[in-house]
């Protein structure tokens, strides 16, 4: 057979077709691999940008800590008559841990102006009334009263409890402070100084700081509040691109609250603090912080109670600050460290295990330094504090996953279901 005949034979045509198809398939696989590799590169670069942003927030938090919290802000030298009257509202329910000490801190404020203290309590048989009355007798020169009863304006028991105090407050300046919060004696004056110095400031808030944990659950909560929560709280508020506050200790103008519907407008939300902050923010009122802490005793009794509280917090935020909540796992050290280690290995060949261990070690060291500086000293036990920190970091992602798939929470013995708009209903 000659060469031309061989090329024109059916078998030669089939072989040519197979060869061409194989070559095309190889090209397609190579092209697909290049596309997939390019996508992996993009993901890796995104992870590194995200990690850099989180490390920047950590640096910012330490800068804020140095500027505001290492040394107390000095009082502004102004005449006493320039300080407006202030009404302190303390909602009460039951005997919180260290209740007398926390409530007494309101009576001991070094404030030049007039201070009124209103204790709001729902049940006339609540044992907290006795503690409040004892303090009123001990400080007869302070205008203080106990208001009993509630106005049902929504499902939030704290809002319902405070409605009478809100209506009867004699001052436009309100300091709403939870019953389990202790503040230093200069907190109110430093806060009002900030308001007087900047007329566009409408909210003064204080970061929550846990103290004296006595159980393993309390130690986990303590480790979370005094490192991760406190650090991110300072950094986000320093950036100041949105409202970010918790409702443990906040100072507002009553007139500003009235302009956004008053307290009653937030009675259908469990996270009333967040919704109030957002409403005032969008109304043009700025938020700022002093270098004071809203100190609360670590009152969690068990690991289960800690997990339940964290799940409730995350699930509540999911319906109020949805985007930030879904982004939250990427701010945790273990997941972000694992992703960063992969990205550096993928792009530059770094050793994954060495990178991951270095990442966690640096994160841990900065958190320990952050706590030492804001606490002005060591914890009760460094080994136990470090162990609690590690356990907290390990539990963060599993608890987030549990929280993100549900739509109900249990608070003060009641079960609530969230709606998509952030409001809740009580389940019988």
pLDDT tens per residue, range 48-67? 999 999 999 999 999 999 99
pLDDT of 171 > 60? The answer is: yes
Query: Percent of the chain beyond pLDDT 70?
Result: 91
What is the pLDDT, as a whole number, of residue 9? 46
User: What is the model's pLDDT at position 25?
Assistant: 52
Going by their DSSP bridges, the two strands 115-121 and 173-177 should be labelled as unpaired
Please report the pLDDT score of residue 422 as a whole number: 87
Task: Tell me which H or E stretch contains 203.
Answer: strand 201-211
**Does an H or E element contain 35, and which?**
helix 10-64
pLDDT band at 34 (very low <50, low <70, confident <90, very high): low
Average pLDDT over all residues of the chain: 90
Instruction: Give me 315's structure tokens.
Output: 């699930």
Would you say residue 4 has pLDDT above 60? no
Contacts of 78-85 with CB under 8 Å at 24 or more apart are 78/193, 78/196, 80/112, 80/113, 82/196, 83/111, 83/112, 83/113, 83/189, 83/192, 83/196, 84/113, 84/171, 84/172, 84/173, 84/192, 85/113, 85/114, 85/115, 85/116, 85/170, 85/171, 85/173
414-418 sheet: strands from edge to edge: 408-411, 414-418, 424-427
Mean pLDDT over residues 198-206, rounded?
94
The residue-averaged pLDDT of 365-380 equals 95
Question: Which of 197-224 are b and which e, b meaning 16 or more Cβ less than 10 Å from the residue's Cβ?
Answer: eeeebbbbbbbbbbbebebbbbbbbbbb
**Does residue 26 register a pLDDT over 70?**
no
Q: Where residue 14 falls among pLDDT bands split at 50, 70, 90?
A: very low
**Which letter does DSSP use for residue 422 in this model?**
S
∠ CA 161-162-167 to the nearest 5 degrees? 130
pLDDT in the model for residue 413 = 78
Classified as helix, coil or strand, 210 is strand
Q: 251: Cβ–Cβ under 8 A, 6 or more apart, which residues?
A: 86, 173, 174, 175, 176, 188, 191, 192, 195, 203, 204, 205
Confidence of residue 392 (pLDDT cuts 50, 70, 90): very high
Average pLDDT over residues 122-131: 96
Stronger pLDDT, 7 or 361, i.e. the higher one:
361
pLDDT on residue 38:
63
pLDDT score at 16: 53
Residue 72, pLDDT > 90, answer no
For residue 7, the model assigns a pLDDT of: 41
288 close to 198: Cβ distance less than 8 angstroms: yes
| Cβ neighbours of residue 92 closer than 8 Å, sequence gap 6 or more | 119, 120, 121, 126, 128, 129, 132, 161, 179
For residue 37, what pLDDT is reported? 55
Does residue 31 have a pLDDT over 80?
Answer: no
- Confidence label for 12 from pLDDT (cuts 50, 70 and 90): very low
The answer to whether residue 10 scores a pLDDT higher than 60 is no
Kindly indicate the confidence band of residue 167, based on its pLDDT and cuts at 50, 70 and 90: very high
Q: What count of other Cβ atoms lies within 10 Å of the Cβ of residue 111?
A: 21
Residue 393 is predicted with a pLDDT of 97
Of 396, 336, 401, 291, the residue nearest 47 (C-alpha): 336
Q: What are phi and psi of 286, to 5 degrees?
A: -75, 160
Structure tokens at 23: 């070559």
* Across 122-147, average pLDDT: 96
Stretch 195-201: mean pLDDT: 93
Catalytic residue among 273, 292, 299, 367: 273
Q: How confident is the model at residue 242, as a pLDDT?
A: 82
Using the predicted structure, report yes or no on whether residue 252 has a pLDDT greater than 60.
yes
Distance CA 221, CA 73 (A): 28
Contact 343, 45 (CB under 8 A): yes
Angle at 151 between CA 148 and CA 157, to 5 degrees: 85
- Is pLDDT of 141 > 70? yes
Q: Are 148 and 119 in contact (CB under 8 A)?
A: no
Mean pLDDT in residue range 75-91 = 96
234: DSSP letter: H
- Contacts for 141-144: CB closer than 8 Å, 24+ residues apart: 142/107, 142/115, 142/117, 143/114, 143/115, 143/116, 143/117, 144/107, 144/116, 144/117, 144/118, 144/119
Is residue 410 over pLDDT 80?
Answer: yes
Q: For this structure, is 273 an active site residue? A: yes
In order of 217, 235, 348, the CA distances from 378 in angstroms are: 20, 23, 39
Q: What is the DSSP string of 74-127?
A: PPP---GGGSPPEEEEEEE-S--TTHHHHHHHHHT---SS-EEEEEEES-TT-T
Helix-helix angle 216-223:303-318, to 10 degrees: 40
């Amino acid at each position: 057979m000659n060469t031309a005949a061989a090329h024109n034979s059916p078998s030669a045509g089939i072989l040519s077709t197979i060869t061409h198809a194989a070559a095309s398939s190889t090209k397609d696989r190579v092209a697909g691999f290049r596309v997939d590799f390019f996508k992996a590169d993009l993901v890796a670069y995104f992870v590194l940008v995200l990690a850099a942003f989180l490390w920047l927030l950590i640096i910012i938090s330490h800068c804020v800590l140095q500027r505001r919290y290492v040394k107390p802000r000095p009082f502004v030298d102004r005449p006493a008559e320039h300080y407006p009257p202030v009404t302190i509202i303390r909602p009460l329910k039951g005997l919180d841990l260290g209740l007398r000490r926390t409530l007494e801190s309101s009576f001991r404020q070094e404030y030049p102006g007039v201070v009124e203290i209103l204790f709001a309590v729902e049940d006339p048989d609540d044992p907290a009334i006795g503690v409040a009355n004892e303090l009123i007798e001990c400080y007869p020169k302070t205008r203080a009263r106990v208001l009993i009863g509630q106005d049902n304006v929504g499902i939030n028991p704290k809002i319902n409890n405070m409605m009478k105090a809100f209506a009867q407050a004699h001052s436009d300046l309100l300091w709403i402070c939870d019953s389990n919060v202790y503040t230093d004696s200069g907190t109110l004056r430093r806060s009002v100084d900030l308001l007087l110095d900047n007329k566009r400031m409408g909210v003064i808030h204080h970061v929550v700081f846990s103290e004296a944990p006595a159980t393993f659950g309390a130690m986990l909560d303590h480790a979370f509040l005094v490192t991760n929560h406190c650090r991110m709280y300072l950094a986000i508020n320093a950036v100041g691109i949105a409202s970010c506050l918790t409702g443990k200790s906040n100072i507002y103008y009553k007139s500003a609250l009235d302009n956004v519907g008053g307290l009653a407008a937030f009675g259908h939300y469990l996270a009333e603090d967040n919704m109030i902050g957002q409403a005032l923010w969008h109304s043009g009122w700025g938020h700022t912080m002093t270098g004071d802490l809203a100190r609360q005793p670590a009152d969690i009794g068990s690991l289960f109670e800690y997990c339940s509280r964290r799940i409730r917090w995350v699930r509540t935020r999911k319906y109020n600050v949805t985007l930030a909540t879904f982004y939250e796992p990427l701010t945790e050290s273990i997941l972000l460290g694992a992703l960063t280690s992969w990205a550096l290995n993928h792009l530059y060949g770094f050793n994954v295990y060495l990178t991951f261990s270095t990442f966690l070690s640096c994160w841990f060291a900065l958190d320990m330094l952050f706590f030492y500086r804001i606490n002005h000293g060591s914890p009760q036990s460094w080994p136990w504090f470090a162990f609690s920190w590690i356990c907290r970091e390990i539990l963060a992602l599993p608890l987030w996953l549990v929280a993100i798939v549900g739509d109900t929470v249990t608070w003060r013995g009641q079960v609530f279901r969230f709606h998509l708009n952030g409001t809740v209903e009580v389940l019988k």
